[in-house]
Chain A
């Protein structure tokens, strides 16, 4: 205490505080840069950890899987019959599949979802089991790339037949055959926990399997997907279990499309960055919807395994090997006496063997939040505080109105997009939204101008709100928090630039700079640009808007109720701000 007292006194004596205040914008920027540098340093040796199995009961790859030899003949037999079904519609395919499953003695049932084909599912009740827990093997009729999933379907049939021969099961096994792995699967998962008659207890783990028809007998490696909605991940133990089994089967696993053959700093960094991006986009775009995220929010650990091949003929992994991976994973999960709880739920993968845990990566987003808070502080310190406090009610009222308008948008736009046909309306609403921010038209006719005090307090409050948004998000959805933090960084330059206005026209460099900052940090400009970079224009926007209703992914709400109002307020401030000529003259004289 005494030390702190001495230091404080010294600071006071030397008059450091005004000096620090002067450098606050720079501090804020440096902090933002250091946050990114920190993130980049994570894939360096010593900063990350090797994955390990935390739950001893799992014992992956400790059993010999007998899904081999003649089981291959059976998988081929099923596959030929399934391939022949490719030109039929899903409901008639389901009928045939159902008859096969019933022949194996499984209980089959349908989920009628009301918008697409019915989802067929079959329950294998564990002999002597308690019937309170289950594992799910999900095989959609169409892969997430839209191909016919015949290989995985044949595998599922072969595995169903193979599983019924064993008496070791302590958990039921549910085989789910949705028409696709997006909305129909989500709807099945919802229904399983609300109104299905045939259930098999709480699902502990789920594996979504994709092996499309073009692959034939062999594949080369497995693409593993694990991102859930709203920043949720499956327990790291499940991923590790699958990875250990893959390793023992000598199958290469790629995470975020980067294989685990040669792992070095670059691949780790790439995996990390891609992981953060795809975690933000999960459920929003077709590429980032792989089936496993549909189980999010129900305390079900889920992964997607997709068999892939690059150039045929290099390495052969036969189809039953993928079956053995599923078999091994299920047998490990079957060993569990408790739920998955031992290992991490929050982590970032750098390869199939390396990860960083929440404690290590969290500072990156924390520093960003601090950086935003500091720029908010710098904005509020540049004005007369007493005047700001006397205008507090106006400031808060403004925010409330903006939030109410945004809430209206948050509810109405998804309805508009869902009811419209084609891309036009969504593109139009996108434009409307972006231009809504540019209150320029209004500003010309609107005579009243805002004083410097009000302008800067509004800006400061907006920045502080974003900082709080990031802080609130950073544990539950680190990737989104980080991404928003980086994308709104240009907003932190706005108060500094506005302080440097010499005239409010396009001759003023600061004025142009502010406009650029505002455009770049507009959420819908970002969404549109990202959509175009990812390849599908307004698809990302449509996915963002629809994901809340379809999949309960709340990224849309964060954007429209957190990011957008703050942006609108800052832009409004910019539009209605009037420079105080006297002050400007005083500055010039000095």
Chain B
């Protein structure tokens, strides 16, 4: 967190020097297999103002501050909930660490699947912090069209290893800072989340690089992540400013974008004459052994986003407000910067400088585009391997218990230390007594459960309480060089109450991704998440209660009938009964009727 805050602050320092309050940047980096990583960065800073603790019950006046470029819709929310830091992550997709390497910004701005909120809240005690947190998430829910309002105490965690590092703001006398975190792994990230994201920008997505952000294009990527970070920083004179950093990162499949542009969205079969076949194998009008993706490609921003960048952010702004940069191999790629102003058309090659990192400022009222051409798209800048790979999966099959298996692989030549943060909902009852560790390296696989202290150096565990809070586990783990460690432990599944099942109970329950923070000299250097998991709980047939009610009622009424009979009727012998039954009124009438019929028969002579 300190690193994150530091990074944002350092970014903002640049901003302050350059254009005071707003800066935007787009970075493009081709990846192997015709992929492209695009990163949008927006930095906004509010005017310094006097920040004081907002007491919900005592304050009568409204919060009225002038924030300049900082969104005036967000400012009062932050202030009225006493949020000093807010980190929101919207992510969808699977980051293929094997082929794509490290996450952008060292993973500090990428969340796990779904939505994640982390906030630092100033409050006198935890109960009030929870109240603020609850208000904050409910307001943000409406603001970002996400189900953040479902965040409750039973999904909120208080990450321990992060709290030590809250920085950048000193609370008022008597107050403390609380760090709260929650994740919604099953939240689908969609256009409705992008629109409020764009509304936070002073340009509203109408000019500058944000014009590229079209929902159809942003979400048609292999992986995409949006982040919104608000940090409060205060000067010595007591004035504070809110600093907003927004990013969108996405991994685009260039071939698909090209195909969508040329052939439309439907994946129709390639026409026979356009097939790319391996000519060293049998190849004729009937047969074709396909080659991999083409490596000789050309494309532009227009291909990927369907439009060009419209102007700079502000017509009269600083010339360094909007910028664009490209990371590429100039020997293989020909990148052309194209400026299409009303009265001029400029094409300039960016490959001439032979730099791997080239940036350009957009400061004119023109349409900008970048054109990429290459003969071999496989030649890209080398991928930086992440310090650790991790995969997590559920084991077992039964509906009453299951297991979790996490495997960490350290590909490097030196040991890696990291914090493994995992929070599971209360209906997963974890057992650590059967936690097993197995280490795999070049010598083979070995069970190292007995000396686990060697690998798990520090552990913090806060058990779950039914319906009240989730379990929270933070382990400091070290993996030796070139080896992989598999950790397994089991859990029981609890039965939920009837009304606790969601409408789509048969979908299963999403378990939020675990967060892995790599430490180097006790400083976080890289952060990433495992995938989320889908847990199947015993799900009742929801019409069953009615069957049960009907059956129970039947059985009860039968039982009642028997008992009632026993209680109210007199017990007699069979002979007594027959004697009595012969003298009842009904029997007499019956006898009379029989006698009359007999008489009639006699008369009729039958």
Asked if B562 contacts A125 (CB within 8 A), the reply is no
CB-contact partner of A298 in B114, B186, B397, B484, under 8 A? B397
Asked if A66 contacts B268 (CB within 8 A), the reply is yes
Which residues in A have their C-beta under 8 angstroms from that of B531? 130-132, 201
Min C-beta distance of B38 to chain A, whole Å: 15
**From B270, B278, B290, B532, residue with most partner A Cβ within 10 Å:** B290
Q: Which residue on chain B has the smallest CB distance to residue A12?
A: B574
**CB proximity to A under 8 Å, residues B90-109:** 92-94, 96, 98-99
Q: Which residue on chain A has the smallest CB distance to residue B268?
A: A66
Q: Which residue on chain B has the smallest CB distance to residue A190?
A: B397
What is the 8 Å Cβ interface bit string for chain A, positions 194-233, against chain B (1 contact, 0 not)? 1111110110000000000000000000000000000000
**Given the known A-B contacts A132-B534, A338-B507, are A66 and B269 also in contact in the complex, defined by CB atoms under 8 Å?**
yes
CB-contact partner of B94 in A77, A129, A193, under 8 A? A129
CA–CA, A339 to B504, complex, Å? Answer: 10
Asked if A66 contacts B266 (CB within 8 A), the reply is yes
Interface size class of B (residues with CB under 8 A): 35 or more
Q: Which residue on chain A has the smallest CB distance to residue B291?
A: A103
CB-contact partner of A202 in B271, B394, B504, B505, under 8 A? B394
CA–CA, A72 to B286, complex, Å? Answer: 8
Q: Which residue on chain A has the smallest CB distance to residue B272?
A: A70
What is the 8 Å Cβ interface bit string for chain B, positions 387-402, against chain A (1 contact, 0 not)? 0000101111100000
What is the 8 Å Cβ interface bit string for chain A, positions 76-99, against chain B (1 contact, 0 not)? 111011000000000000000000
Which residues in A have their C-beta under 8 angstroms from that of B394? 193, 202
CA–CA, A196 to B289, complex, Å? Answer: 32
Asked if A105 contacts B33 (CB within 8 A), the reply is yes
CA–CA, A9 to B268, complex, Å? Answer: 80
Asked if B271 contacts A341 (CB within 8 A), the reply is no
B306 CB–A CB distance under 8 Å: no
What is the 8 Å Cβ interface bit string for chain B, positions 227-267, against chain A (1 contact, 0 not)? 00000000000000000000000000100100100000011
Min C-beta distance of B27 to chain A, whole Å: 21
**From A73, A165, A167, A196, residue with most partner B Cβ within 10 Å:** A73
CA–CA, A531 to B253, complex, Å? Answer: 56
Asked if B565 contacts A1 (CB within 8 A), the reply is yes
Which residues in B have their C-beta under 8 angstroms from that of A105? 33, 99
Which residues in A have their C-beta under 8 angstroms from that of B407? 197
Which residues in B have their C-beta under 8 angstroms from that of A201? 393, 531, 533-534
**Given the known A-B contacts A132-B533, A197-B407, A201-B533, are A165 and B256 also in contact in the complex, defined by CB atoms under 8 Å?**
yes
CA–CA, A350 to B256, complex, Å? Answer: 45
Q: Which residue on chain B has the smallest CB distance to residue A197?
A: B407
What is the 8 Å Cβ interface bit string for chain B, positions 327-347, against chain A (1 contact, 0 not)? 000000000000000000000
Min C-beta distance of A301 to chain B, whole Å: 13
A509 CB–B CB distance under 8 Å: no
Min C-beta distance of B203 to chain A, whole Å: 26
B475 CB–A CB distance under 8 Å: no
B220 CB–A CB distance under 8 Å: yes
Which residues in B have their C-beta under 8 angstroms from that of A529? none
A299 CB–B CB distance under 8 Å: yes
CA–CA, A244 to B242, complex, Å? Answer: 59
A337 CB–B CB distance under 8 Å: yes
B174 CB–A CB distance under 8 Å: no
Asked if B504 contacts A338 (CB within 8 A), the reply is yes
Which residues in B have their C-beta under 8 angstroms from that of A132? 508, 510, 531-534
CB-contact partner of A81 in B33, B289, B391, B534, under 8 A? B289
19 more contacts with CB within 8 A, not counting A105-B99, A193-B395, are: A70-B270, A73-B275, A77-B289, A78-B289, A80-B289, A104-B292, A128-B221, A130-B532, A131-B113, A132-B534, A133-B534, A161-B290, A167-B256, A193-B394, A197-B486, A198-B391, A338-B506, A338-B507, A339-B536
